[in-house]
């Protein structure tokens, strides 16, 4: 069973729209959740992290966490072509001891 799952995409949205990226995880004991952005050929960059149920906003980005449903999402408002990248969900899972597991990533394409 995969620990962290994401739709691989590509997810295509028009410029100015809201992009919605989803992630589910299997370990109910997971405590912290992260979204990274990775441009092609570059290293991952942290966008934001969330610990508590609910929403956390940072500029155009909103992370949403629902621990009961084991679901975390990232909303990107007013999407720009420069947001086109792969978005990686990562979970700090307590399964088998402290561990940090990335999902496979969702490729986002923002069309001008």
> Which residues are near another protein by CB under 8 A?
32, 34, 42-46, 49, 86, 88, 90, 92, 98-102, 104-105
- The residue assigned the tokens 């449903």 is 69
Q: Which two tokens stand for residue 20?
A: 């919605």
Q: How far is the CB of 76 from another protein (least distance, A)?
A: 20
In the complex, minimum distance from the CB of residue 92 to another protein, in angstroms, rounded to a whole number: 5
17 vs 48 by CB, closer to another protein = 48
Q: Give min distance, CB of 15 to another protein, in A.
A: 25
* DSSP per position, 26-89: S-TT--EEEEEEE-TTS--EEEEEE-SSEEEEETTEEEEEETTTTEEEEEESS--GGG-EEEEE
C-beta closer to another protein: residue 43 or 82 = 43
> What dihedral do alpha carbons 7, 9, 13, 15 form, nearest 10°?
110
Q: Which is nearer to another protein, 1 or 112 (CB)?
A: 1
If one counts every other C-beta atom within 10 angstroms of the C-beta of residue 62, the result is 18
- Give me the least distance between CB of 17 and another protein, in Å please: 25
Query: Would you say 13 or 101 has its CB closer to another protein?
Result: 101
């Amino acid at each position: 069973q995969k620990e962290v799952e994401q739709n691989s995409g590509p997810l295509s949205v028009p410029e100015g729209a809201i992009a919605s990226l989803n992630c589910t995880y299997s370990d109910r004991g997971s405590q912290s959740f992260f979204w990274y952005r990775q441009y092609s050929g570059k290293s991952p960059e942290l966008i934001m992290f969330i610990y508590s149920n609910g929403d956390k906003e940072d500029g155009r980005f909103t992370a949403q966490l629902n621990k009961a449903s084991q679901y975390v999402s990232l909303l990107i408002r007013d999407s720009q072509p420069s947001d086109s990248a792969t978005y990686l969900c990562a979970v700090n899972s307590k399964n088998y001891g402290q561990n940090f597991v990335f999902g496979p990533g969702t490729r986002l394409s923002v069309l001008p």
